[in-house]
Structure 1
């Protein structure tokens, strides 16, 4: 039977999807992980990646001594007024994005641990269906905790490389990176706002009932044979984490998505504890008429959000 990318949910139904309650020590677990990451010396290194020096190859140390990399982009005239850490989807990142929603920003394009092209680490799988299960048997070994730490260490590295960026740091990512952002941003006081697009990992108990074409399918099948993993997943639920996320957050939400079921996306948005704005997308993780126009409109909406008065 063909997969219905709406999962039978209408917009009014999506607006009612909630977040699972947190384990009693949820905040303690995450603040402890964050404190460990803040003690890491990122020891960032940046090298010219092009003739004009505006783009640089970068690498830095994250939690557990893992070196990850990416790219650092600087304004052509060198005038930096803010910083932006940009994550990626579960395919990894092969290059910086073609466009970002803010000007005069030092932008660190992060490659999370294990992910192509500059996050590959021996021992961590680099494909989504295997990466999403790495270390999942225990909360202290699950790779998504390390990926959140990569975000925090990326902020540290960015502020070390470009001190002016520390005046204001924002986070932007979609899909995998959107879900990791929801997990990471609540605990880092240096991050002033976030833009998440079709965020993953929202409402795991519901996700485990929804077949999909994304990484969630590997988790759903694993949990079917290892039901005890539900306890681990409760610490890595992006919707649960969103109940602790109080900085202004903009979320792009797909009404249909075969890879990241829309109910999970909306669970993240609905649970946000701070100021929030949404942008509705026709679909996610698929081609459709008008997709390019929607992408441009989303970029414009993110620009307005990141430069609005309420977010200063």
Structure 2
């Protein structure tokens, strides 16, 4: 597999101009302050499920997301914990759903609470998702999710998803068994892009771990990526000639490389140099613009799989060190 993009030394120096769209901060503060819809639940719901496991407690979670619509997830917690737990909130890759309750146990086995957020409307590439997508622009005009509601920032699909992601962090901060100052957000690909967006939208996170992040420098991704999902944007613009300016104006509000400029929490990135899905220059755009303390692991001969389980070991060590150095009640606060 050849290099998919710029060589590493050029990626480290790559800092393209990405103008911040008008009213970026006001748009997001307004979005996140909107009231719940009438009749929507205003509190998360947790129902313990029996997975046949004795060392991990698992809860079927429903959290009021965008507009109060329920977002599903799994919350895993180590059995027998007696003190408030550090927590890892995980966002999923494109097409993935939360899957089965017993699947993802690494973080709970390491002694942390672990919330897996279902991504609304997705879940066709794994065991499936359980969160519907409703709202303006939910139908889309080409297959996939990148062009749903793309006519304006107010109707765009990822406005709902990013709000869901923030609400999940807020729910964990309010959970009686979780230390609100020790929350890390993470995700692979789409999940990494969502984690970066949350890093710019939520103050006081303890850490951020974006892996081969999607939704970074979206205009470049749409022009050079040869594989989906970025190709959905190109397919839309092939059908709708002349709309490129308005489309990229909408997408600028959701570009994780823009949100990275608002981040303050420590971050551990991973980037793969032979990634044809999320070209490394797009990921480095977000890394180079990230405003908080940061480090990166580069996998020179890997594609979109990135560091895989080798990188999970890096993350385990990083989170352990992060939490060890941050006293309860002070983690991630500037």
Q: Provide TM-score, normalisation by structure 2.
A: 0.81
Q: Is 2:306 aligned against 1:284?
A: no
| Number of equivalenced pairs | 305
Q: Which has the higher mean CA deviation after the structures are superposed, 116-125 or 79-88?
A: 116-125
**Separation of aligned partners in 1, 2:308 and 2:291:** 31
1:274 counterpart = 2:292: yes
> Can you list the C-alpha shifts for 1:154-180, whole angstroms capped at 9, x where unaligned?
122223343533242211111101111
Secondary structure at 2:253 match in 1: helix
Select the residue among 67, 70, 89 that pairs with 1:85.
89
Q: Deviations over 1:83-118 (max 9, x none)?
A: 221111002231452423984322211112222212
Residue pair 2:60, 2:74 contacting (<8 A) in 1 also: yes
Rounded to whole Å, the distance in 1 between the matches of 2:308 and 2:112 is 24
Q: Which residue of structure 2 lines up, in the alignment, with residue 100 of structure 1?
A: 107
Alpha-carbon spacing, 1:275–1:218, altered in 2? closer, same or farther (3 Å): same
- Counterparts of 2:235 and 2:76, CA distance in 1: 40
> For residues 213-228 of structure 1, what are the structure 2 equivalents within 5 Å?
213-224=227-238, 225=240, 226-227=243-244, 228=246
User: Cα distance, 1:38 vs. partner?
Assistant: 9.4
CA 1:22/1:230 → structure 2, altered by over 3 Å: closer, same or farther?
Answer: same
Aligned to 2:7: 10
In the other structure, the counterpart of 1:30 is 28
1:294 correspondence with 2:310: yes
Whole-Å Cα distance in 2 between the matches of residues 147 and 198 of structure 1? 19
Unaligned runs of 5+ in 2: 124-128
C-alpha root-mean-square deviation of aligned residues, in Å?
Answer: 2.8
Gaps of at least 5 residues in structure 1 are none
Counterpart CA distance in 2 for 1:101 and 1:295 is: 17
Query: Alpha-carbon deviation of 1:199?
Result: 0.7
Distance 1:275 1:42, change over 3 A: farther
State the secondary structure of the residue aligned to 1:140.
helix
Q: Which SS does the other structure have where 2:230 is aligned?
A: helix
* 1:241 is aligned to 2:248: no
* Change in CA separation of 1:129 and 1:198 when aligned onto 2, cut-off 3 Å: farther
- Report the CA distance shift for 1:146/1:81 in structure 2 as closer, same or farther (over 3 A): same
Which of 280, 286, 306 is the aligned partner of 2:322? 306
Q: For the Cα contact (< 8 Å) 1:81–1:167, is it kept in 2?
A: no
2:174 to 150, 154, 160: 160
